[in-house]
Amino acid sequence: MKKLFITALIVFSFVTGKAQDNGMETLFGGENFSLGGYGGPEVKFTNINNEFGLMVGGRGGFLMNSVFTVGIAGYGLVTSHKVEDYKPQFPRGEDSSAYLRLGYGGLHFGFNIEPNKLVHITTGVIIGGGAASYTTPFYHRHDDEDNYDSNFKTYETSAFFIVEPQVGAEVNLLKFMRMEVSGSYRFVSGINLPNTQNSDLSGFSGNIMFKFGKF
């Protein structure tokens, strides 16, 4: 096995060298290869549990030949969504409402079509996971008086798997700055909460992102 690996490596190096000598364009290596990177904030306008939801996060990664992207992405839900028909038991006088919290992230793979044009098409997909929880309000009443605190409690939490394909348009604002407007769809699976289904967290998003980096 070791000899086979060494032989394959030698053959690969020889073929790669010959390809470059013959002027063949390759993704990795050669005179035409360039490596850049970017990062920036992103906002998602979406639907969560049949209500308007706002998610905030960002993406970042490496750019190969200004075309292929490999990086990471992560987002968190910033709007509040009350969980209906869920009645946790609290001491008398405390707020017993439950709210859905959500966050997810993962690897991002992307492809840019003619990235040097002022306006061009972008595509990509996020593959990863996240967690959803039922919690108290961030500010809740904790006694018979009108006193509130920010120490919220978590009732239940469930992990889930997510795949989110995306397509959009990108504008080259400056050499180091781009704006992307896109649409995506979250496919959520594996959620295990009593009053929340996969379909409650799946759905379309309209996204706006500002990218900063070396393109």
- Read off the pLDDT of residues 5-33 as tens digits, 9 standing for 90 and up: 344 434 334 444 444 444 445 555 556 78
Residues 29 and 75 placed together within one structural domain of the fold: no
Query: Are both 120 and 47 inside the same structural domain?
Result: yes
Output the domain CATH number for residue 117: 2.40.160.20
pTM exceeds 0.75, yes or no: yes
Is residue 28 located within the same domain as residue 9? yes
Number of domains in the chain: 2
State which residues form the domain around 151. 34-214
Q: What is the pLDDT of residues 110-147, one digit of tens each?
A: 999 999 999 999 999 999 999 999 998 876 555 545 55
Do 152 and 115 touch, CB atoms closer than 8 A? no
Nearest-angstrom CA–CA distance, 56 and 41: 8
In this structure, the answer to whether residues 69 and 130 fall within a common structural domain is: yes
Q: Are residues 92 and 27 in the same domain?
A: no
Residues 11 and 111 both lie in one domain: no
